[in-house]
A and B are shown apart, each in its own frame.
Chain A
Amino acid sequence: MTSVLYDTPGPRAKRRNVILSVVFFVLLALFLWWVWTTMDEKGQLKWDLWEPFTTTQAWTTYLLPGLANTLKAAAIAMVIALPLGAVFGIARLSDHRWVRGVSGTVVEFFRAIPVLLLMLFANEIYVRYTDVSSEQRPLYAVVTGLVLYNASVLAEVVRAGILSLPRGQSEAAYAIGLRKGQTMSSILLPQAVTVMLPAIVSQLVVIVKDTALGGVLLNFTELLNSRSTLAANYANVVPSFIVVAVVYIVLNFILTSFASWLEQRLRRSKRGTGAVLAADAVDDLNAGEVGGTAATGHGGKT
């Protein structure tokens, strides 16, 4: 598609592109050189600050348990949020006005509130009104916040997924005498699940990233939080941040790649309706698209 924006470069355009490349390369190189020398000047490149990351103990004692907690919170949140989201997503498609209204309000409400506030609030509720041990409470609070928010996002994914199916599917189902419930459970949902898979996987990326909020403000010992214990030992604050950032990038890159592999795989298949909810549909949904209809638009485009 992008090549449509410009002609195949001729000799002049080629020369200009080469010049632009060189200029851009020089600017980029200068920038990176500046970053490198400044870090060197400030003593951040000293090997003894980075050396701990080559030892197994730094990983097994601090980072891996943290990473395990990150994945654990993300997985639990996803497992709870998915069915909850499905229920609300289907409820928003209900024929009954009040069901649509109630579920719509709930979904829009939780999508309008920052996850951070949901976590802080859940934490306080657990402290005051429940008997959750103080070790487990941060996990509970983080998962609660993530579930409330992501269930509403997933509700929209489910809704968009079902709406993306060709109308003929439900019409045919009604024609052979299936009732509404049957149509949903045996015709629409099974197809919608395939359609939604990429979007659901990429929602995992959002969840993984959001667990870090609990680390900073609720002392949940996830990856980012275990970094501070590590840095207290090795006195390498800045290097530890960079390493942790790289871990996040790699982890999320794997998830993103899996999502787009899934998407392509599903698109390529000849059978089926051809509807796929793109992985990046969730990025838009995440934002809490209020009142618009864009969510439904993503489905059909192939």
Chain B
Amino acid sequence: MFDFLEGYDVLGAFWMTVKLTALSAVGSLVWGTLLAGMRVSPVPLMRGFGTAYVNIVRNIPLTVIIVFTSLGLADIFGMTMGAPDDFKVQGFRLAVFGFIAYTAAFVCEAIRSGINTVPVGQAEAARAIGLNFNQVLRLIVLPQAFRSVIGPLANVLIALTKNTTVAAAIGVAEAATLMKTMIENEAQTLAIGAVFALGFVVLTLPTGLVLGWLSKRLAVKR
């Protein structure tokens, strides 16, 4: 019944999806937090940059960004990601770079809305005891904000997992690339579709459940 799977490395393709997701998630969390910090910072230029970045990147289709990492970053700007002679590794790293650039905009917005949920009194009290902007943000606001944004961040993570399929556009051998090849070559379209759908349900459902549970547990009781 599942003989159509023979000769195809389905698990390998999904492993690639997982790797893309994990690396991009870590990267976009860091870059997104920095961006959020810029967007609420006292320096107007940084605020402007953060706002511009988010509004520009959010409005470009991810496909354009991913293709451009290859055509623009690698070919024009020579950013070969430490692998100038190995296009497989390079394509993977470029894709991760593109996902980080794109997802960070959403992470930034999630964290910023989290910062907005921290009661004004918290920041005021922190300032009253003499903390500066960095300290207020690092010690008081962000720790609370992070706990309240676990829900939205989980959504961003799930979206990222699904978005990694766009890496197919620059030939990274992940799940969507394999599915395209398989439905072109094999007759059991429905079965193939079911296998890949199931794969993504398996990847995203536990993420949603675990992080949903976590966000409830860690929610700041007010």
Contact = CB atoms under 8 A, between A and B. Distances in A.
A/B touching: CB–CB < 8 A: yes
Interface of A: 1-2, 4-7, 9, 13, 17, 20-21, 24-25, 28, 35, 38-39, 42, 44, 108-109, 112-117, 120-121, 124-125, 128, 205, 208-213, 215-217, 224, 237-238, 241, 244-245, 248-249, 251-253, 256, 280, 283-294
Interface in B82-113: 106, 109-110, 113
A116 B168 contact: yes
Q: Is the interface of A mostly helix, strand, loop or mixed?
A: helix
Contacts of A115: 162
Nearest to B209: A291
Interface of B: 39-40, 42-46, 49, 55-56, 58-64, 67-68, 71-72, 76-78, 106, 109-110, 113, 115-116, 120, 123-124, 127, 132-133, 136-137, 141, 151-152, 154-159, 162-163, 165-166, 168-169, 175-176, 179-180, 183, 189, 193, 196-197, 200-201, 204-205, 207-209, 211-212, 215-216
A117 B179 contact: yes
A116 B155 contact: no
Contacts of A237: 71
A4 B168 CA distance: 45
A237 B76 CA distance: 11
Contact of B151 (A120, A125, A208, A294): A294
A287 B39 CA distance: 23
6 contacts: A21-B45, A117-B196, A288-B155, A288-B158, A291-B209, A292-B151
Contact of B180 (A6, A208, A217, A241): A217
Given A20-B43, A112-B200, A287-B156, A280 B165 contact: no
Given A114-B165, A117-B176, A238 B208 contact: no
A284 B208 contact: no
Given A109-B201, A284-B155, A292-B151, A224 B166 contact: no
A125 B183 CA distance: 10
B64 A224 contact: yes
B166 A116 contact: yes
A1 B120 contact: yes
A116 B61 CA distance: 13
A236 to B, nearest CB: 12
B152 A294 contact: yes
Contacts of B208: 288-292
Nearest to A241: B68
A44 B123 contact: no
Contact of B154 (A17, A39, A289): A289
B189 A128 contact: yes
Contacts, number: 198
Contacts of B180: 120, 217
A121 B61 contact: no
A224 B61 contact: yes
A108 B78 CA distance: 42
B200 A117 contact: yes
B159 A286 contact: yes
Given A38-B76, A117-B196, A217-B180, A4 B123 contact: yes
A217 B56 CA distance: 24
B64 A217 contact: no
A121 B156 CA distance: 24
A245 B60 contact: yes
B60 A248 contact: yes
Given A113-B200, A128-B189, A6 B106 contact: no
Contact of A5 (B137, B175, B189, B211): B137
Given A5-B133, A39-B76, A241-B64, A116 B165 contact: yes
Nearest to B79: A38
A1 B189 contact: no
Contact of A209 (B62, B113, B124, B175): B62
Given A109-B201, A112-B205, A245-B68, A294 B215 contact: yes
B64 A1 contact: no
A241 B67 contact: yes
A32 to B, nearest CB: 11
Contacts of A287: 154-159
